Amino acid sequence: MSDAGAENLREILRQIEKATKAAGRAPASVRLIAISKTFGADEIAPVLDAGQRLFGENRVQEAKAKWPGLRERYQGIELHLVGPLQTNKVKEALSVFDAIHSLDRPKLAAELAKEIQKAGKSPLLFVQVNTGAEPQKAGVLPENADAFIKECRETYSLEIAGLMCIPPADEAPAPHFALTKKIAERNGLTLLSMGMSADFESAINLGATHVRVGSAIFGSRPKIV
Ligand SMILES: *Cc1c(COP(=O)(O)O)cnc(C)c1O
C-alpha cells in the first residue's frame, strides 16, 4: 500500500506531461499540487520520497498538525491552502501555507492584508471564483470577480497571482475552466488553479497552471470530506 502513492504520482505526472504537450504548452507551465487532505504522514512520505514537493490541504488545523514534522524531514516543501479560510485563522494560515487559493471576500482580504503586513511576506494569492454560483460553495460570483479583484488590489494593496475554481460536480467542467480563464485574462492574472483528479487534463487544455490532484494519487477518501 505505501508505494501506491508514489506509483500513482508517477502516472499522474506522465498524464500531465502528455496533456500539456497536447495543448501545445511548455512542459514547466503546469504544476501538480498533490492534495493530501485526510491522509497522514505515513501515506504522504512515499510521495515525498518520489520527489513531489508541492502539496495542498483544505484545513488549517490539519495542516498545522501534519506538516511541521514533514518539513523537518524533507527540504523544499511548498504547501498550498485550497479550502475555505476563516478570518480568525488567517494568522495561523500564514504561518503554515505558501499559497492561499480561497480568497473570496472583502473581510478576508482585509485580514490578510493586515497579517501580511505584520509578517512582512505574502503567500501567493488566488481569488476563488464560484463559477457555478452554487450557494453552498465558497468563492466570489463571476459577475463580481472584476470588482473584487480591483478591491483587493486598490483597497487592500494585495498582490493577486491568479484565480481558482471548483466546477459543480454534476456539470461538464470545461465551460467553468474557460470562464475562469477569461476572467483571469481580462484582469491581467497569469495563474489558474483548476482541475482535479477527474478533469485535470481538460483544465490543462484550457490553461490551468496549477492542477489539484488528490484521490488519483493518494486513493479515495472517507465520504464526509
Ligand atoms: C479535495 C480537493 C481537491 C482534490 O480532489 P480529488 O478529486 O481528490 O483530486 C482539489 N481541490 C480542492 C479545493 C479540494 O478540496
Q: What are the structural domains, with CATH classification, of the chain?
A: 2-218 (3.20.20.10)
pLDDT in tens, 29-73: 999 999 999 999 999 999 999 999 999 999 999 999 999 999 999
Residues with CB under 6 A from ligand 1: 35, 37, 58, 82-83, 166, 196-198, 212-216
Give 175's contacts (C-beta < 8 A, 6+ positions apart).
Answer: none
Q: At what angle do helices 41-49 and 4-22 cross, to 10 degrees?
A: 50
CA 36 – ligand 1 centroid, Å: 9
pLDDT in tens, 159-202: 999 999 999 999 999 999 999 999 999 999 999 999 999 999 99
Cell of 9: 504520482
Minimum CA distance residue for ligand 1 atom 6: 214
Model confidence, pTM: 0.97
25 C-beta neighbours (distance < 10 Å), count: 16
Does residue 2 register a pLDDT over 60? no
For residue 101, the surrounding DSSP H or E stretch is strand 99-103
Pocket probe for ligand 1: among 128, 163, 212, the residue whose CB has the most ligand atoms within 8 Å is: 212
Cell of 180: 475562469
